[in-house]
Structures are given as C-alpha cells and as structure tokens.
Amino acid sequence: MTVTLADGMLDLAMPMHLRLDAGGRIVGAGPAMRKTAHTRALVGQVLLDVFAVHRPAGLRTFAQMSARPGRRLVLGFREGRNVEFRGHILDAAGDGAFVLNLTFGLADLPDLGGAGLTAADFAPTDPTVDTLYLLEAKQMAFSEMRRLVERLRGAKSVAEEQAFTDTLTGLRNRRALDQVMAQSRERAEPFALCQVDLDHFKQVNDTHGHAAGDAVLRAVAARLSHSVRAADTVARVGGDEFILILPGMTDEATLARIARRIVTDIEGPVRFEGRDHRVSASIGITVSTDYDDPDPVRMFADADAALYRSKSAGRATHCFHGQPA
Amino acid sequence: MSANLARAMESFVTDTYGRTVWQDMVRAARLDFDSFELLFEYPHTVTEPVLDAAADRLQRTRADLMEDLGTYLVSHPRMVGIRRLLRFGGDDFETFLDSLRELPDRARLVLPDLQLPSLRLKDEGNGAYALDCSKASADLCGVLVGGIRAMADDYGALVTTELKTGPGNACRIEIVVLSSRFTPGRAFELAERST
C-alpha cells in the first residue's frame, strides 16, 4: 500500500517545502516558505533561478539534484537577503514530481530569515522553535554570567588596591607603611625610621636565578620580623629595600644595637636548593624627634641619604641621619 | 531557589522603589553585603531576613509582595527576556498554561542545576484550570500567581486566579479564563526581526 500525501498534508507536515515538477519548476510551496520568500516569486519560477546552490560544490543543474534524492543540500535566495536553507530533495512516488524540504541554515536561524514567522508556522515535530527558545535562554544565562565575572573582576582589583601586604614576603607594603607614618605623625608619637637595603642581592639573583633571590627575600623578611617588636612595622618597599618603623624608639645607642643585630642576622646563610646564599645589609636611620614636623617625605629622603653613606662606607653597616658614618 | 527569590526581590525593589529602599532592607536584615548573585547559593538564614525586611519596609504581607514580584518578573521592561521565554509557550493563554508543565524541563536545558517545582495543569472544563505545584514554597506559589496574572494581561486574556496552599510545600492555583481574547494583548514574534 502506498501513502499519498495531499498538498494540504504536505503543508502541515513540512511547512517549508517546495513542490517541483520533473523539470525543476516550482509548482507549489508550503506556507512558511511562502512567508519567508515574502515578495520573491516562487510558484511558476524555475527553482535554480530563485535559489543558488551553495553546497554540494559543483552541483549546477536540477537533473544533478534530482538524481540523488536525500542528499544534503544548502541553498540560498538569489534575490534580496541571501537567506540560507538546508534540506533534501525527495522523489514523490516516482511520478516525475519532487518535494524539496527545507529548513533555515544556522546563520539565519536566530531571526528566522527576518520573515516574522510564528510558532504556528512550524510543525509540532519541528524543534526550530525550541532552538530559538534555547538561544534566547542561553543568551540570558550568558549575560548574567558575564555580569558576574565583571563584578568579581572589579571586586578583585579593589581588593588588590586595598591590600596592605607584600605578596612575596608577607610583610607590609608601601601603602601600609604610608598609613603607619601618617598615623604616627598625627598622634605626634616619636619613632625611628630605618631603611634597610640588601648588599650583594643582585649577584644572588643574577647568578642563581629569581627563585633563589625570592628565597633570600623571604628569609630576610622572616629575620627582620624576628628582630623587632610586635608593635613595630616591617615593610618591603622595593625589590630588596625594606623599611622599619619603630615607635617610641629614639635612643641612638639602642637603635645602633638593633641595627647591628639586623646586619648580623641578615648575613647568616640562606639555604636554597642545596646551596648557601649570602647577602648583607646597609642601613640608614632617622628619628622623628630630629624634626619639628616629621614629614614622611623628608624622613624617607634623610634615611635614604644615611643609607647611601653606609653603602659608601663599605656596606654591612648603619648610619644615622645628621651624623658622620 | 530562595537565593533566586532574593536576587529577584533585589531587582524588583531596585527597579520599582530605588536602590536606597533596597539598602534599607539590607540594613534591616543585617547583611554584610548588598547585592545577591543569581548564580550563587545563599543559606536561608541570609535570604529569609531580607525577604521579611522587604515586606516590612513596603508594608505588604509577604504573600502580596510575592505576587507583585511575579508580576514584575514578567512585565517589567528590564525583564523582557523572561516574558519572551514564557511567550514561547504558546500562541494563546490557554496553550501557555498547558506549556507550564514543560517549564522545569525547558529551564533545565539551559541551567541543568536549576530546580524548579513541578507544575501539573488540570483542565476542569469551561475555561477552569487547576495548576498544582509540588515542592514549591508559599513564596514561590505567590510569585507564580503574580506571573500568571501578568501573562494573562500579556496575552490579552481576562482571568481570575485564586491561590490555595496545601499541606507541606504544595499549592494549587485555580484559574478561570473568562475570555481568552479580552484585549489584543501584546505582540510577540518568535524572532526579534533584524533590521
């Protein structure tokens, strides 16, 4: 028994089909195809005058097309917007008529070829409408995720900006130091500022690599932290530059003792990957009581100048601001 | 689900009453943050106080507030995406109602983790329907009622709804469609036309 589909049934089953005669002339079109064609003429036209074959390459004539029913075809409108379709040609019961069943290509799927189709234009078995639903829902989920990522990225950079810690050593960083200095000045608390600069650090870094250099910096940080009281601030402010703020500590003899202990501590070897690395330190010290108003910028500059005198004096030593080495 | 409700409430309050009103609620609920993320989980101990604070601040019952939230979610211009997704459910209001049963499955196609309550529609004839929601909190049932009312407006249908809470986390929404084409409703096209 053969089932014959009346045109009306074809329209319902495959609303985007074209009915063709043996010569490739369009004799009928499904309702969704007529809607999509809009002002382009369909019925009475030669198929390949209305549509260009995009794939398979080399397919030029209707005879080639109709000779292989079922083969996947990609076609596009020649006129107006080049809406692309994919589909296959079916031999309609061998009486010389063909049915070309089409659907939208992926590029034209999101807006359905701009034709203003509705759910009623698609067969209930056709997942096109569900695909559109998914596209929109996916877009919503994706935008929400992108907003989340943006917000997290913003939060991360704020957190980084507000951080008070040097990530390599765990010491305070420049921002934290500035805050401590400002507080001490505000409260008019006397304090000492020690600038500690490593000697021979560059050689370690250059000769044994950054990993060795980082190990030395971490070891120095630990030793500095042990050399001072809990209320003191130890910050790393540059590659191998450290600054100590020692509140209430203005006695030069005590400061000199602390400075000597720091140099000795830092000179102890740092074991890294089976090798001992050695650095030393030069220190410049200034105390807030030397100033009418302990301006941080001036104090840093003075500590720096004292440090350079230590360096000039042969390193591994300390100098006070306003005193000979 | 309660996290999604809190996020939705944040949008609703912010878009309708302004950010400062939302911040009042956040303060009243003693949260240490002021914005919920849709994709995060939050414990009830966080979401409950803020939903209570919202009802308190707006002087509404919690049930009324949830209905308003549902209406907002499908009718506010900023939520046009949700309205569009729901309109995919069918060409008229009654088809839309019927499509609600597939809503959890559809949602899972996009967000596999999303647990929506299961919805079952009973057609009682003469335009009367009963929508049974299991595993749905009273809040969510309220949101559903508000959403269904707003969708009826969207389709141009004239309907009455009544919310009946059952034992446990279950509710039944009784809907009577008096006229499915009372007004022309709002236009809907599957594809937003390209220009």
pLDDT digits (tens, 9 = 90+) for A49-103: 999 999 999 999 999 999 999 999 999 999 999 999 999 999 876 677 899 999 9
User: What tokens appear for A115 in the block?
Assistant: 């034709």
Tell me the mean pLDDT in the region A139-161: 87
Q: How does the average pLDDT of chain B come out, rounded?
A: 89
Residues B157, A254: Cα–Cα separation, whole Å:
89
Is B185 a member of any domain?
A: no
Tell me the mean pLDDT in the region B8-12: 95
Using the beta-carbon criterion (under 8 Å), do B85 and A141 form an inter-chain contact? no
A247 has which bridge partners?
A: A191
Which of B85, B91, B192 comes nearest A137 by C-beta?
Answer: B85
* A7-123 and A174-320, same CATH topology: no
Using the beta-carbon criterion (under 8 Å), do B110 and A116 form an inter-chain contact? no
* Contact residues, chain B, for A144 at CB < 8 Å: 38-39
How many domains are contained in chain B?
2
| B100 and B162 inside one domain | yes
Residue-wise pLDDT for B92-126, tens only, equals 999 999 999 888 888 888 888 777 788 899 999 99
Using the beta-carbon criterion (under 8 Å), do B85 and A114 form an inter-chain contact? no
Residues B115, B93: Cα–Cα separation, whole Å:
25
User: What tokens appear for A130 in the block?
Assistant: 């569900």
Q: Domain span at residue B41? A: 2-59
* DSSP single-letter state for residue B51: H
Question: Is B100:B121 a contact under the CB 8 Å cutoff?
Answer: yes
| Residue B195: band (very low, low, confident or very high) from pLDDT cuts 50, 70, 90 | very low
Using the beta-carbon criterion (under 8 Å), do A119 and B90 form an inter-chain contact? yes
| B36 and B102 inside one domain | no
Chosen domain end from B59, B81, B104: B59
Residues 132-191 of A with CB under 8 A from B: 132-134, 136-141, 144-145, 148, 151
State the pLDDT at residue A93.
Answer: 66
User: What tokens appear for A244 in the block?
Assistant: 């100590």
User: What tokens appear for A290 in the block?
Assistant: 């030397």
Q: Quickly tell me which residue has 């983790």 as its tokens.
A: B113
Using the beta-carbon criterion (under 8 Å), do B111 and A141 form an inter-chain contact? yes
State the pLDDT at residue A1.
Answer: 66
Distance of CA A317 to the CA centre of its chain: 47
Taking the CB of residue A78, how many other CB atoms lie within 10 A of it?
12
Is B30 a member of any domain?
A: yes
| Residue B192: band (very low, low, confident or very high) from pLDDT cuts 50, 70, 90 | low
User: What tokens appear for B26 in the block?
Assistant: 């956040």
| B49 and B99 inside one domain | no
Say yes or no to pLDDT of A325 above 60: no
Position with higher pLDDT, A323 vs A32: A32
Residue-wise pLDDT for A21-48, tens only, equals 999 999 999 999 999 999 999 999 999 9
Complex-level ipTM: 0.79
A77 has which bridge partners?
A: A51
State the pLDDT at residue B59.
Answer: 96
* Contact residues, chain A, for B105 at CB < 8 Å: none
What are the C-alpha distances in Å from A138 to residues A75, A108, A143, B75, B87?
Answer: 28, 17, 9, 20, 16
Residue-wise pLDDT for A99-135, tens only, equals 999 999 999 998 888 888 888 889 989 988 888 888 8
Helix (H, G, I), strand (E, B) or coil at A53: strand
Tell me the mean pLDDT in the region B19-30: 95
Percent of residues, chain A, with pLDDT higher than 90: 66
Residues B79, B81: Cα–Cα separation, whole Å:
5
Position with higher pLDDT, B189 vs B87: B87
A57 touches chain B (CB under 8 A): no
User: Phi and psi at residue B161, in whole multiples of 5°?
Assistant: -130, 150
Identify the weakest region by mean pLDDT among A49-58, A101-110, B8-17, B161-170: B161-170
User: Phi and psi at residue A323, in whole multiples of 5°?
Assistant: -130, 150
| Residue B28: band (very low, low, confident or very high) from pLDDT cuts 50, 70, 90 | very high
Distance of CA B167 to the CA centre of its chain: 21
State how beta strands A280-287 and A318-320 pair.
parallel
Residues A268, A224: Cα–Cα separation, whole Å:
12
Q: How does the average pLDDT of chain A come out, rounded?
A: 91
Is B71 a member of any domain?
A: no
Helix (H) / strand (E) element for A37: namely helix A31-37
Say yes or no to pLDDT of B20 above 50: yes
Is the bond preceding A56 in cis, omega lying within 30 degrees of 0? yes
Is B79 a member of any domain?
A: no
Position with higher pLDDT, A301 vs A117: A301
User: What tokens appear for A154 in the block?
Assistant: 């913003």
For the whole model, what pTM was predicted? 0.67
| B107 and B173 inside one domain | yes
Q: Is the dihedral of CA A207, A212, A216, A221 positive or negative?
A: positive
Choose from A36, A38, A104, A112 for mutation: most chain B CBs within 10 A.
A112
Percent of residues, chain B, with pLDDT higher than 90: 57
Is B98 a member of any domain?
A: yes
Residues B129, A167: Cα–Cα separation, whole Å:
64
State the pLDDT at residue B194.
Answer: 43
Residues A145, A19: Cα–Cα separation, whole Å:
46
* Contact residues, chain A, for B34 at CB < 8 Å: none
Instruction: Show the beta-strand stretches assigned E in chain A.
Output: 17-20, 26-29, 51-55, 73-77, 84-92, 97-104, 191-199, 233-236, 241-247, 270-272, 275-277, 280-287, 318-320
Using the beta-carbon criterion (under 8 Å), do A132 and B190 form an inter-chain contact? yes
For B126, how many CA atoms within 13 A lie in the half-sphere containing its CB?
Answer: 1
State the pLDDT at residue A48.
Answer: 96
User: What tokens appear for A126 in the block?
Assistant: 């056709």
Write down the domain spans for chain A.
7-123, 127-162, 174-320
* Contact residues, chain B, for A158 at CB < 8 Å: none
Is B187 a member of any domain?
A: no
Pick the CATH number of A174-320 from 3.30.70.270, 3.40.50.720, 3.30.230.70, 3.30.565.10: 3.30.70.270
Classify B28 in phi/psi space as left (phi over 0), alpha (psi -120 to 50) or beta.
alpha
CATH number at residue B162: 3.90.1520.10
Print the SS3 string covering B2-15: HHHHHHHHHHHHHH
User: Phi and psi at residue A88, in whole multiples of 5°?
Assistant: -150, 160
Question: Is A316:A281 a contact under the CB 8 Å cutoff?
Answer: yes
Residues A311, A281: Cα–Cα separation, whole Å:
9
Searching chain A, which residue's CA lies closest to the CA of residue B192?
A111
Architecture in CATH of A7-123: 2-Layer Sandwich (3.30)
Classify A80 in phi/psi space as left (phi over 0), alpha (psi -120 to 50) or beta.
left
Helix (H) / strand (E) element for B70: namely helix B62-75
Is B10 a member of any domain?
A: yes
Helix (H, G, I), strand (E, B) or coil at B173: strand
Q: Which amino acid is at B158?
A: L
A5 touches chain B (CB under 8 A): no
| Residue B134: band (very low, low, confident or very high) from pLDDT cuts 50, 70, 90 | confident
Say yes or no to pLDDT of A234 above 90: yes
